[in-house]
Structure 1
Amino acid sequence: VNLQPEEALRYAALTTEWKWFVARNRGMLARGGDFFGELIRRSGSDSAARQALRAHHQARMIALNAEAKLGEVARLLAQHRQDKVLVFSEYTALVDTISRSLALPSITYRTAPDERKRTLQAFRSGAYSKLVAGRVLNEGVDVPDANIAIVVSGNSTAREHIQRLGRVIRPKKTEAVLDRRVTRYTSEVSAARKRRQKSDSKAKAA
């Protein structure tokens, strides 16, 4: 998807601020071999480092939560009207936005255990054919069968990415699809590409 014009301008300003700081401080920060770790340590007493980290985080949030993703989710759900679909986001705010805007059931870390159980059972039985979920589904939750998963934001490791594939690719399934939506011309594209490469390597080694 593409950023909206206002989002693109803000993203460009924030990434420029981040890159400028990195260019000026890379040598000093990389001496210990852990650039990001050193930057975080330094941010405790260095306002410029703190502001650079803030800019990096805000730019990343713009990319991960791009407004156009909501419209893309609606389009994909219409395309898969007859399928059982899980929509994933690691960010509770985006889960809430999708759930509210598209009138879909959802579960997050805030969902009470009894309500979570009822929602998953309704999805399992077919009473719900669509479900929006946050990171709470990454581990330790028995997720009912589905044949489509849509990932709209997240910084998941390759392991979590494979887990998500496992949510939808179940025994006896003839076809399953994981559809990941990323924001063009942002760091999300390269992160998703690296994640896919790691997932493919692990899958081949299995």
Structure 2
Amino acid sequence: MGLSEEEDNMEGNKAGVGVVIIIAIVVALSFSYVLTTPTGSQKQTIPSNPAYTNTTYLWADAAGWNFNHGVVNPTLNYTVGTVVTFKVTEADTAPHTLTINPGGSVSNPISGESRSGAYTVLSIAQITQTKGHQSQGQFYFSKPGVYTYWCTVHPTTMVGLIYVNSTSGSSSATVAPQSVLSGPSNINPNLQYSSYLDMYTISGTAGGTFEL
């Protein structure tokens, strides 16, 4: 028996609704994939009372970390036992992550990206794609050695090295050494003295330090 015109319309409407639902599910899954980034296999436990603390400022730009804001893809230096708070500012509205992994070398820093144990400190969703937005995440450097930090979306242009040095003797140091990341125009009057390192450190607002 053939369907009436009214029944035909109802069947057509059901089919249309089904297509819309399927499209909505696909779009939702795609959006979820874009906004979520796995943190990798490395686990992070941040101690409540670390030996050292440090705040490092980075600008996320597809052309390179800190592009137009100081030294591009700066080499960072910390003392083992340091909890670093990374404050990342979205610079170009592109998606970015801040991911860290043990390994890498001066001649081939990208080699560290392929090693197991990567940890995403800040995901695409956390950094956002809103220009000027600042997010922050922490990483505990519990072991000395060379680390690689990079953006998983732009792994060949946004990549740099981190050196974590062993420490001995007194644990009273309050300042972990760090590379010069920016010029005098970005200096704030944050002067600290390290008895262990026997030096003064002036912190820069763009994440750099000048050692005196």
TM-score by length of 2: 0.25
Give the structure with the higher percent helix: 1
Which is higher, the Rg of structure 1 or of structure 2? 2
TM-score by length of 1: 0.25
